[in-house]
Amino acid sequence: MMNDPEVKALISLLDDSDQEVFTHIEEKLISLGTHVIPMLEDAWSHAFDPILQHRIANIVHKIQFDMLLEDMKIWIHTNTDDLLEGALLVARYQYPELDRDKILQFIATLKKEIWLELNESLTALEQVNVINHIFFTKHGFAGNTTNYHAPQNSYINCVIESKKGNPLALSTLYLLVTKSLGLPIYGVNLPEHFILSYLEVREGEEGNTGRVLFYINPFSKGSVFGKGDIDQFVKKLKLDPQNTYYQPCSNKDMILRMLRNLSYSYQKLGDTEKVDEIGLMIALFSS
């Protein structure tokens, strides 16, 4: 491991006009990992040459992206029970220094507000009505219909700040709150949409194996509907009905779809660099 003076000496050479020299220094700095980022950021703040600033920013991004790939790989293989961690990893792609505690606090606030309104005598539908009131009426969450494909609709921190998102991101936030309350609500990976299911949990049954009582559409302020509506939706898309269109999906499925949504968003914006990087994250799910 290089000491700080050695690292700073390397950074001071980043403005070298010889491409071969620069490439060697860049590779060395990237190999040193996240501990050199503060020194790189300090050098960026004191740099007046825009080319040097761009080089430094690019190295910082590459270091952070390498770390993100490693963390995503770990999540995929060991931690998919933690949906929040998966959503935070996706958000870290664009916001590597996002405030994790702020997001946790907001989810805890929503949980407490809903918990105060719930009681054991409420039916499943009445519980969802309470959740919807807090989520959509009090806090004003809604589907982003005017800028549906914008990348920020997939980042959980942006959704919390703007109160707008796509069907999957809104469903993810809804799920994070309802799971913390112990409610049997699960994601459903519907084609061209994403919804939630409320399951009937019988004694002896575990997890997401119960019968679906009804479905919830967070993109439409939590509207409730039945299987027949999915039948019509699938028929309209001219698809053959599949079990996965009606039954709960895994957290892994949700995060993979979140990344695919992001890839499509950046593709529409013509940002091929981001599309390629997100492609590397998507590839981890089949490795």
CA distances from 177 to 29, 75, 144, 185, 286 (A): 41, 20, 20, 10, 29
Angle at 148 between CA 147 and CA 153, to 5 degrees: 95
Asked whether residue 204 carries a pLDDT value surpassing 60, the answer given is no
pLDDT band at 4 (very low <50, low <70, confident <90, very high): confident
Is residue 153 classed as helix, strand or coil in its secondary structure? helix
Q: Which letter, b or e, does each residue of 201-235 get, where b requires 16 or more Cβ atoms within 10 Å of its Cβ?
A: beeeeeebebebbbbbbbbbebebeeeeebeebbe
Q: Give CA–CA dist 179/184, Å, rounded.
A: 7
As a residue count, the chain comes to: 287
Q: Give CA–CA dist 194/199, Å, rounded.
A: 16
What are the residue ranges spanned by the domains of the chain?
4-78, 83-286
pLDDT digits (tens, 9 = 90+) for 36-87: 998 998 888 888 888 888 899 999 999 999 999 999 999 999 999 999 999 9
Q: What pLDDT does 226 receive? A: 95
- Global pTM reads 0.91
pLDDT digits (tens, 9 = 90+) for 105-159: 999 999 999 999 999 999 999 999 999 999 999 999 999 999 999 999 999 999 9
Q: What pLDDT does 49 receive? A: 80
Q: 48 φ, ψ to 5°?
A: -110, -15
